[in-house]
Structure 1
Amino acid sequence: MSKKELIINVASKHFSEYGYERASLDVVAKEVGVTKPAIYYHFKDKYALYEAVLCSKFSALLERMQSVYEVEEPKDALRAYVETFGNFLLEHPCFAAMFARELADGAKNIPQSCTKSLSQILKLLSTILLKGEEEGVFGKENPFMIQLMIVSTLINYKTTKKLREGVVMNLADIKNIDIELKDIIKNLANKIVKAVQC
């Protein structure tokens, strides 16, 4: 792994834990084992590093989502879309936390360069929904609304484990209230498909 990649990986953890405003380049540099000027050698400023971190994750997500284009049947494609997004969050917990912070903060720090990947991901969902509508299996849906349902459910579930554990402790008489994200992903995929069917 190159020094630049190492800086991005370490910064990813710090941005996810502290957010853009509170993350410290001094701490990132110390953890990487370089000086702060060494970070500036690779990145113009803190925002450029944040952009590199976020854009690398959004690009990786987009690349992963491309496999959904291979699924022919709209219901299966929509399930694959939700499951692929959810599994990416499982594999990239720092991304889930960073995305949650951005959503909660009105996405004010998401660089414009990252929105291209987001647009392509939304275009994929739009294509799936339109194909389903044309084939008579889905009703007319707003892709952005469906995307927000998927993203907010999975991101919030991924980032609220401690809260959910605390709540569940007070509900000992209710069974199966807190299940793993991998199970939520499949459940949500089925519910989204059911919700958009004619």
Structure 2
Amino acid sequence: MDDSPPKTAPRKTTRIQKLNRKRILDAALEVFSSNGFRGSTLDMIAGEAGLSKPNILYYFDSKEAMHVALLNELMDAWLEPLEALNPDGEPLDELMGYVQKKMEMSRKFPRESRLFANEIIQGAPRMAPHLAKRLKPLFDAKATLLRKWMAEGRIAQQDAEHLIMSIWAVTQHYADFEAQLDVLIPKKEIAWRRASDHVEAIFRKLLHP
């Protein structure tokens, strides 16, 4: 006879709980992206979310738990365009599509970009395992693909690894230094159209065989 207690099904997350979790993470994103991890507090996040600190801790047991949750979500979104580079596509079109996706992400998600940048600047204390496990294999695979396209004469010869990092540096500049962009070229929509056209022209000229 089995005397172990009956197993109970895990409780389903209610709609209110899902909304509160999203509300907390959005507040945490705003606070972390503005102040960095070290400069942010649970009280600041609770204030931004309009919830009490105990309510925040019901969903996340620490500031670090919120930070890691945001970074994990961000990593999924950040890697998708790189993963989508199609080995069977036209190389220049694939790469220009990647550049434009990265520019669009910088336009739409500047807080997420700054969150990631702050983590890397601090030495990636929470993301280092993810960088090694997820980003590094993908980065190596896409660099190998770029070298294949270069060897076939389909794009110009460049340093494959540094080409990828140059695309990151140029496109993410527009998110990480958004405040500077707003001062130097105030008409935001016009600035973004100009920026996208300019960045694509740079990389298209660089890579044209």
TM-score (norm 1): 0.76
Q: 2:62 aligns with which of 30, 41, 45?
A: 45
Match of 1:29 among 36, 46, 61: 46
Post-superposition offset of 1:192: 2.1
Match of 1:9 in 2: 26
Cross-structure match for 1:174: none
Give the structure 2 partner of residue 55 of structure 1: 72
Q: Is the 8 A contact 2:111 2:175 kept in 1?
A: no
Within the candidate set 68, 92, 109, 1:92 is matched to 109
Question: Cα deviation per residue 1:63-121 (whole Å; 9 max; x = unaligned)?
Answer: 34444438700111111111111111211121122233345x25434513542443365
Distance in 1 (CA, whole Å) between partners of 2:191 and 2:208 is: 26
The number of residue pairs the alignment matches comes to 189
Which residue number corresponds to residue 173 of structure 1?
none
Identity rate, percent: 23
Cα root mean square deviation, aligned: 3.0
Contact 1:57 1:95 in 2 (8 A): yes
Q: Secondary structure at the match of 2:153?
A: coil
Decide which moves more: 116-125 or 79-88: 116-125
Structure 1: tracts of 5 or more residues without a match: 170-178
For 2:53 and 2:181, the matched residues in 1 are separated by 38
How far apart are residue 147 of structure 1 and its match? 2.3
Whole-Å separation in 1 of the counterparts to 2:41 and 2:184: 32
- Aligned residue in 2 for 1:195: 206
Measured in 1, the distance between the counterparts of 2:88 and 2:148 equals 12
Q: Work out whether residues 74 and 128 of structure 1, in 8 Å CA contact, stay in contact via their aligned partners in 2.
A: no
Pair member with larger Rg: 2
Candidates 194, 198, 204, aligned match of 1:183: 194
Tell me, in whole angstroms, the C-alpha distance in 2 between the residues paired with 1:40 and 1:151: 35
User: Aligned equivalents of 1:150 and 1:63: distance in 2?
Assistant: 15
Residue of structure 1 aligned with 2:127, choices 111, 121, 146: 111
Aligned pairs for 1:131-150 (under 5 A) are: 131-150=148-167
Deviations 1:4-48 (CA, angstroms, capped at 9, x unpaired) = 222111111111111111112112123323332333333342222
Give the Å deviation of 1:166: 5.0
Residue 152 (structure 1) aligns with: 169
- Aligned residues of 2:33 and 2:114 also touching (Cα < 8 A): yes
Asked if the contact 1:139/1:196 (under 8 Å) is kept, the reply is yes
Partner Cα distance (1:124, 1:6) in 2: 36
* Equivalent runs, 1:56-71 vs 2, <5 Å: 56-69=73-86
User: Going by fraction, where is helix more abundant, 1 or 2?
Assistant: 1
Structure 2, unaligned runs of 5 or more:
1-14
Q: Which residue of 1 aligns with 2:11?
A: none
Contact 1:83 1:189 in 2 (8 A): yes
| TM-score for both structures, normalised by structure 2 | 0.73
The SS at the match of 1:21 is coil
